[in-house]
């Protein structure tokens, strides 16, 4: 879901932006990092259980992101946490995730 601008009309009739609202974004679990990917803000790590944005970026996050972003969309979906149950993945995703993790990293492929 994209970010939507919040606006209000001033007494003079002009439209003034007052901020923006962003919806929930998919949460992924890859190489031990929980993170969300936003179309405007990009990737950001989230807390494991509450999925609130973290204040700091853990060591190694950007290296993990460089590997993850090279996967195609279908492979990325294997690491997405199910929206109905944030702590469970379906069987098909688990099998696909194992196959993708076992594959050589995109950096190693020539």
DSSP string over 65-110: HHHHTTS-HHHHHTTBPPSSSTT---HHHHHHHHHHHHSPPTTT--
**Total-model pTM:** 0.57
Q: DSSP secondary-structure letter at 64?
A: H
105 or 88: which leads in pLDDT: 105
Edge-to-edge strands of the sheet including 27-30? 27-30, 33-38, 42-45
Question: Could you tell me the residue ranges of all domains in the chain?
Answer: 26-102
Instruction: Indicate whether 105 pLDDT > 70.
Output: no
The residue whose two tokens read 């950096």 is 107
What's the Cα-to-Cα distance from 54 to each of 19, 61, 68, 89, 99, rounded to whole Å? 21, 12, 19, 23, 29
* Whole-number Å distance between alpha carbons of 43 and 76: 13
Query: Mind listing the pLDDT tens digit for each residue in 50-90?
Result: 777 788 899 999 999 999 999 998 889 889 886 544 444 44
Closest CA to 53 of 66, 65, 77, 36: 36
């Amino acid at each position: 879901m994209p970010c939507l601008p919040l606006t209000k009309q001033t007494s003079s009739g002009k439209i003034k932006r007052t901020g923006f609202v962003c919806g929930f974004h998919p949460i992924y679990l890859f190489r031990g990092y929980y993170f969300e990917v936003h179309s405007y803000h990009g990737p950001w790590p989230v807390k494991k259980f509450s999925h609130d944005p973290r204040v700091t970026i853990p060591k190694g996050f950007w290296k993990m992101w460089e590997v993850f972003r090279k996967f195609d969309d279908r492979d990325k979906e294997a690491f997405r946490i199910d929206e109905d149950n944030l702590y469970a993945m379906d069987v098909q995703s688990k099998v696909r995730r194992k196959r993708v993790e076992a594959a050589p990293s995109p950096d190693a492929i020539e």
